[in-house]
Structure 1
Amino acid sequence: MKNVGMKAESYRTAIATGILHAPPHCIELLRLGNTEKGDALKTAKIAGILAAKRTDELIPLCHPLPIYRADVEYELFESHVVISAVVETIGPTGVEMEALTAVSLAGLTLYDMLKPHCEAEDLCLDQIKLQKKKGGKSHFTRALKESLSVSVIVLSDTVASGKKADTAGQNVVEILEEANFSNIAYQVIPDSPEQLLSLIEEQKNQYPLILTVGGTGLGPKDLTVETLQPLLKREIPGLMEASRSFGQKRTPYAALSRGVAGYIDQTLVITLPGSRQGAKESLIAILPALVHLFDVQNNIPHAGGYQ
């Protein structure tokens, strides 16, 4: 199975349809609910709903998901019936297969209940397809439409002195590159409030986004938050709330991160943890919001073309 452990949960919907071709007298039996096995439409509706809830047991590589809504509806015509299924969830992956499975099983149930009333060649289940899906990366995009520059500042005495390689900051850079950020300024400095303040002062109106990596914990030299929070003119607490919530589901240590986010002049500054996994989880959690902020709202002016 595909690993979806690092995907953020979102509200997801899928709608699928299919067509069952049948003789006109069979369509009338459906309309009246009068096949020899009973009301076929009602029975097939239940079958479709159950199929949506059990899709992970029927299709080997599908993930089990909490199904918050599953429904099957019909539209009857002279010689065919259109079957529609809608499935909704909040999860890390979509419900397309659940909707398609619901249509398939509902159609097969109708087929089974109509076959005593006609020849086998008179029935045909056809055109089962996905009509619409919403949620996840197709709806909450994780890549900018137009590239933006960004600064990444890693704070670590051991990395700055060459005693340890930087993995957290480099991973942040990789994620930003995948999200269509470009001209990434990457620098490593010691755990020094003075050097951090100097860099922020230098860069604060040159980049629309500055990410710091490190100094958000509770160690004696973890002073990134104390250094930057007084400079924030407009905080965005929801960004760090989302990061901590996402991280807390993966490690209980996420609750110890004191990261903050907000604007210093015209630049959005976000503080990420210094561990590779912590920085990765935090950035993944807020990336769709950042893309939305810079791509859709587009309401933060910047010198050099950022309008």
Structure 2
Amino acid sequence: MKDVGMKPESLRRARASAELLAPAHCIARLRSGDTEKGDPLKTARVAGILAAKRTDELIPLCHPLPIYQADVLFELAEDRVRIIAKVETIAPTGVEMEALTAASIAALTIYDMLKPYCEPAELCIRECRLDEKRGGKSQYRRRLPAPVAAAVLVLSDTVAAGRKPDTAGRAVEGELQAAGFAPIHYAVLPDEPQALLDAVNELRKQHALIATVGGTGIGRRDITVDTLKPLITRELPGLMEAARAFGQRRTPYAAMSRGVAGFAGDTLLVTLPGSRGGASESLAAILPSLIHVFEVCRDLPHPGGYQ
């Protein structure tokens, strides 16, 4: 199965449809609900809803999902019935397969209940397809439409002294590159307030986003938040709330992150944890919001590439 553990949850919807061609006298039985097995449409609706809820048991590589809403509707014409399945969830992956499975099983159920009344060649299931999906990356984009200049500042005494390699900052840099941020300035600094202030104030002149990595914890040398918070003129507390909530579903230690986020003038500052896992998880949680920020803030007079 595909690993979806680093994808944030969102409200996801899917609508799928299928058609069953049938003789006119069979369509009449659908209208009246008269077959020896009972009402075909009512039975097919229940079958489709049940299929949506059990798709992961039918299709091997589908993830089990909480189904918050599922329904199956029918449109009757002279020689066919159109089956429409709608499914909703809040999850890290979508419900396209659940909607398609619901439409397919509902169509098969109607087929089964009509087959005593006609020849096999007179029944035909066709055009089972996905009509619409919402949520996830199809709605909340994870890549910029145009490049935005960014900077990644790693705060670590040990990395700055060359006693260990940086993995967290490089991971953030790679993930920002994949999201369309460019060019990206990368630097490693010791946990010194003045060095951080000097670097941020210089980078603000040319970069729309500055992401710091490290210094958000409760140690005596964790100075990032205390140093940068006074620079923020418009705080965006929801970014770090989302990052901490995302992290706490993976480790209880995420609650100790003191990260902050907001605009310092026209530059967005975000402070990420210093561990590779914490930094990557935090960025995964807030990346759709970062993309949205730079899509809606085109009026900011910034040379960073998002005018």
Residue in 2 that maps onto 1:20: 20
Relative to the length of structure 1, the TM-score reads: 0.98
Distance between the aligned counterparts of 1:9 and 1:242, measured in 2? 11
Distance between the aligned counterparts of 1:304 and 1:63, measured in 2? 40
How do 1:155-234 residues align onto structure 2 when only pairs under 5 Å count? 155-234=155-234
SS at 2:131's partner residue?
A: strand
Residue in 2 that maps onto 1:291: 291
- The one-character-per-residue Cα deviations of 1:205-235 (angstroms, maximum 9, x if unpaired) are 3111101111000011001111111111111
Deviates more, 1:260-269 or 1:15-24: 260-269
Q: CA contact under 8 A between 2:207 and 2:304: conserved in structure 1?
A: no
Distance between the aligned counterparts of 2:306 and 2:298, measured in 1? 9
Q: Give 1:258 shift.
A: 0.1
Q: Give 1:305 shift.
A: 5.5
Q: 1:305 to 1:14 in 2, by over 3 A?
A: closer
Q: CA contact under 8 A between 1:205 and 1:266: conserved in structure 2?
A: no
Q: Letter of the aligned partner of 1:286 in structure 2?
A: I
Q: Give 1:298 shift.
A: 2.2
Residue in 1 that maps onto 2:118: 118
Identity of aligned residues (%): 63
Q: Letter of the aligned partner of 1:103 in structure 2?
A: A
Distance between the aligned counterparts of 2:285 and 2:298, measured in 1? 20
Residue in 2 that maps onto 1:282: 282
- The one-character-per-residue Cα deviations of 1:152-175 (angstroms, maximum 9, x if unpaired) are 110101000100000000000000
The answer to whether the aligner puts 1:37 opposite 2:46 as a matched pair is: no
SS at 1:36's partner residue?
A: coil
Distance between the aligned counterparts of 1:166 and 1:144, measured in 2? 26
Q: 1:116 to 1:62 in 2, by over 3 A?
A: same
Q: Letter of the aligned partner of 2:279 in structure 1?
A: A
Q: Give 1:306 shift.
A: 4.4
Distance between the aligned counterparts of 2:128 and 2:257, measured in 1? 48
Q: 1:218 to 1:298 in 2, by over 3 A?
A: same
SS at 1:222's partner residue?
A: coil
* Runs of 4+ in structure 1 over 6 Å off: none
How do 1:78-97 residues align onto structure 2 when only pairs under 5 Å count? 78-97=78-97
Q: 1:93 to 1:18 in 2, by over 3 A?
A: same
Q: 1:288 to 1:304 in 2, by over 3 A?
A: closer
How do 1:59-138 residues align onto structure 2 when only pairs under 5 Å count? 59-138=59-138
Distance between the aligned counterparts of 2:108 and 2:304, measured in 1? 61
Q: 1:306 to 1:146 in 2, by over 3 A?
A: closer
Give the length in aligned residue pairs: 307
Q: Give 1:12 shift.
A: 0.4
Residue in 2 that maps onto 1:252: 252
Distance between the aligned counterparts of 1:167 and 1:305, measured in 2? 27
- The one-character-per-residue Cα deviations of 1:34-87 (angstroms, maximum 9, x if unpaired) are 111111000000000000000000101100000011100011011110000000
Q: CA contact under 8 A between 2:147 and 2:306: conserved in structure 1?
A: no
Q: Give 1:16 shift.
A: 0.4
Q: 1:305 to 1:26 in 2, by over 3 A?
A: closer
Q: CA contact under 8 A between 2:149 and 2:304: conserved in structure 1?
A: no
Distance between the aligned counterparts of 1:304 and 1:270, measured in 2? 16
Q: Give 1:263 shift.
A: 1.3
The answer to whether the aligner puts 1:148 opposite 2:145 as a matched pair is: no
Q: Give 1:296 shift.
A: 3.5
